[in-house]
Structure 1
């Protein structure tokens, strides 16, 4: 490493006292394979433990996945969970309409999917409904079990799941979850385009206990990416009859102040942006939850270790820079596992066409030349960042399919790693040279080339880390500056990125991948989450093939996703930076708690305290 890079990294270490993190119980979410934006180092989805040793130098890290306290849970216990963040939560508490990781966490305690998932993120019949798949794999039928109730006592109906699809596909839906598994429902495109008021591929039984969903194309994603989270039509109002509008639902107290679900705890009180008080739902379909009360509260990342030490909170994600200090706290246990998430640098390459509902790539975008994007990836020393800043709990990312999906992640692909000379050679090849002798390159037309970099605030390390990347790009002659000269708060950051703010050229983001390896929800032409706005016919072709009938053949799907990973390494619409472990601090009084995917104790209704 160049001397000045080492010195810069040393300066980062001096201020390394807090980092971005968000608490999660790592419980099942909704069985929908949901993908969502996150802070660069937050943990918001179920983790996995299948990691290729040759790619992860820390594969031997040995953390427990479940607490060691085997005592009986006390009756009517209370637990406090920390949401570790330096920004308020937004508070759109509906699976259909929420956008970010914090709201997803709040929802996870009071609502759930009709279908449970196992350790491989595949749907099972252990949830509130059982499923049956047709011989041609095109129709799935769900039957809701007896005794499944909303928190107001009303039964959960098959038509409530239909309502989720009616909202997601509604012509006026402005959310981000009209993705492949929704669009693939038979008749959904016609409904979405306002050509009909019915979704022909969804049928509800007369007793409102069964629902069948028929897909236009059979896809293996039905086993890991089906949307199975219902919406209480009777509670929030019916948009299909004109009782309410889509805009009224999004701003309604019914999803912001007094939301309901059918999960183990019901929302008793919300202090906007700060805390949520949950009370036990005695009629929960799985049985009476162990805890009488659960509190979720925002705790600043700088204060989380002290809160755990004092016993003010029982459960919290721990910023990995605080790992060494966390090990010294005597009244907590540390659990960790590989996360279903990664951080990345995104390159703005186009705009979202709101009329067509698709991304449009601009061939004249400032970063249209892929050689420049490749050079910027080679210029980043992610291995040093991972080793020096993260105590072995991060490791360099290579492709956009994470190692957790071990059947599809291809560790043999040669992705860029830090190589300053290679970066310089690529920029020279692209015709980006220093014309005026100021140390920074002009573009291939001899014009000034300055990039605005958007990154999120969060802890004391956030800006130094962004500045480290800026310095490394500067070392190869690319002038990069922070957008508006500062970092931006989580919600406003994603608002700007989603709106394709023309001031943004590059940005640092993070994705929670959900449980479905299909990447089309993040990188497809019609995916609202495709924030770079990269499109190509080859990308369309491979993403479609990866969810096709042929993809039921595991070898075929593996080959398709190998080709897709190679394409994205070549095209670099985003440069993945780090894969990660997530680290949980758990009070020694907590029982029946696990972070292992699919485990019984990974579900909040089992959690308890022994004293």
Structure 2
């Protein structure tokens, strides 16, 4: 329903949008030249008949530059994944029903008690530098993630290894022997788990990195290694090689002609970094060919883009969500300096640590109005932090938090936050001025536009909000991670993993991505029970546990899920072979081709 103050709020959005656009970084890089398809008359006949043809350059656009860590075991952002999805591969992939299928591993066998899986690898696969891909690369990748110092170096992928046999002893430095993954021969590898593993297929599907490049590099030095940072030195097995970059402006991928599945049709794929405000114009005039993850075509522009004859749109439910997080706790200075996540050392954020405050803020915000007016209906309000496509998602298990400013005010009153000096804003229970800061990054215009709207909704119930100057994503994530500061509220979006609905990687107390620093005993118990064999091999049992968990999450509320924005992919119709997955636009890019 449209609210009376909505026009005023939108005026705020426009005002802030101009300021933020002036602060954002645009692209001044050279425009890539598009190569013509190889072949003459024969090529024209192929194009006319709809048959794939070789050659051509494709140009995509991102609104935010990758942070620059092009290594699967250390990257953090979806923008870096836009590069890595072309360059690196996993042993297993998934289909559109999220079932696991062969990839670098052509087949596998799981023992009876689900503690071991032996995979047979494809033969003849080579790395981009020509070296053979073997089982030793698989062992090395998982050993690196399991190594002492991995988390301290910035690693956040431990969920793939914590269930491996001997992980704790190896990770703590008690032993130099890595038991969890064993190369039986060059093309056979066995994963061994300490207990029956419910997510065994997900756990063996992490992208593999080359042992011959990183094997002698100390784990602490990998994030700064040239093969992590530099175009031309990043090595994978994927269909495209990352060959050139003009940092923060342009990133070039060239075909891997020796790709083991089949030679890619395209010669190059180029990513350009451009502001959202000009992106659609570039798509319409042919300077870029596609707009995809993580933000896609803005919902506000759907109708105008749909009317452009040479552009095709694909809309699907997002495999993730946008949130307003509450900094329930902060890490200690000592733990930040040591690179440790120790929940027992966390320091409570006095105001955001109060559950009624968090719930009051949820009732104060009209999320449906945001979906209707900013997303133009291309999205949905959700209250459960599990992808809607998963069997575990339960919209009926959660507190709905419909827009109810009177309930918000009542909860604030109950918590002792009342306006004692009649200035329109509430004071703390101690009578002190109460100011809540709201932090957010640049890059995603919809999120930027949401920030002043959220401020207005919260101030309408008497919460004074300090809307802080937005920061570029890389600096924002660093401060969000090293959170021994005064942050209260933060805006962020998650593109969720498709392997399993287990939410512990984002919301477990010791998860690096648990930026709210949420530590709820009931939540921890339910997440553990949902993974505990043998009961958890029954999907109905897991679904019940995750329903209970979603109820706990929505009640205690470490974050308010603002919306799940529909993904709207836009691409020039000259691009053929596009077949997005539920979680990604990039799928079998070696099969992409252009008609001219």
**Ranges in structure 1 where 5+ consecutive residues have no aligned partner:** 21-68
Alignment correspondent of 1:346: 325
Match runs of 1:511-550 below 5 Å: 511-515=494-498, 516-549=500-533, 550=535
Q: Deviations over 1:202-228 (max 9, x none)?
A: 2111x3211111122323222334443
- Kindly state the Cα deviation for residue 3 of structure 1 after the two structures are TM-superposed: 5.8
- Does residue 1:136 correspond to 2:113, yes or no? yes
Match runs of 1:368-387 below 5 Å: 368-387=353-372
Q: Is the alpha carbon distance of 1:604 and 1:488 closer, same or farther for their aligned partners in structure 2, counting shifts above 3 Å?
A: same
Which structure has more RCO (C-alpha within 8 Å, separation ≥ 6)?
1
Match for residue 302 of structure 1 among 277, 292, 297: 277
Partners of 1:462 and 1:283 lie apart in 2 by: 41
Partners of 2:93 and 2:446 lie apart in 1 by: 38
Decide which moves more: 166-175 or 571-580. Answer: 166-175
Alignment correspondent of 2:186: 208
Alpha-carbon contact 1:17-1:302 (below 8 Å) kept? no
Taking structure 1 as the reference length, the TM-score comes to 0.86
Question: What secondary structure is seen at the aligned counterpart in 2 of 1:291?
Answer: coil
Partners of 1:19 and 1:122 lie apart in 2 by: 45
Q: Is the alpha carbon distance of 1:567 and 1:305 closer, same or farther for their aligned partners in structure 2, counting shifts above 3 Å?
A: same
Alignment correspondent of 1:36: none
Q: Once superposed, what is the RMSD of the aligned Cα atoms?
A: 2.5
Decide which moves more: 125-134 or 561-570. Answer: 125-134
Question: What secondary structure is seen at the aligned counterpart in 1 of 2:343?
Answer: strand
- Does residue 1:234 correspond to 2:212, yes or no? yes
- Does residue 1:264 correspond to 2:239, yes or no? yes
Alpha-carbon contact 1:181-1:225 (below 8 Å) kept? yes
Q: Is the alpha carbon distance of 1:318 and 1:579 closer, same or farther for their aligned partners in structure 2, counting shifts above 3 Å?
A: same
Taking structure 2 as the reference length, the TM-score comes to 0.88
Alpha-carbon contact 2:434-2:464 (below 8 Å) kept? yes
Alignment correspondent of 1:8: 8
- Kindly state the Cα deviation for residue 463 of structure 1 after the two structures are TM-superposed: 4.3
**Ranges in structure 2 where 5+ consecutive residues have no aligned partner:** 21-47
Match runs of 1:149-548 below 5 Å: 149-173=126-150, 174-205=153-184, 207-235=185-213, 237-238=214-215, 243-257=216-230, 258-316=233-291, 317-352=296-331, 353=335, 357-360=341-344, 361-363=346-348, 365-458=350-443, 462-483=447-468, 486-515=469-498, 516-548=500-532
Decide which moves more: 442-451 or 528-537. Answer: 442-451
Partners of 1:442 and 1:229 lie apart in 2 by: 50
Match for residue 60 of structure 2 among 52, 76, 81: 81
Question: What secondary structure is seen at the aligned counterpart in 2 of 1:510?
Answer: strand
Partners of 2:487 and 2:16 lie apart in 1 by: 27
Aligned length: 554
Decide which moves more: 100-109 or 130-139. Answer: 130-139
Question: What secondary structure is seen at the aligned counterpart in 1 of 2:161?
Answer: helix
Alpha-carbon contact 2:146-2:167 (below 8 Å) kept? yes
Partners of 1:201 and 1:533 lie apart in 2 by: 29
Partners of 2:86 and 2:440 lie apart in 1 by: 30
Q: Is the alpha carbon distance of 1:365 and 1:185 closer, same or farther for their aligned partners in structure 2, counting shifts above 3 Å?
A: farther
Question: What secondary structure is seen at the aligned counterpart in 1 of 2:92?
Answer: coil
Q: Deviations over 1:61-118 (max 9, x none)?
A: xxxxxxxx982222223222222x1x32211100001111111111111111121212
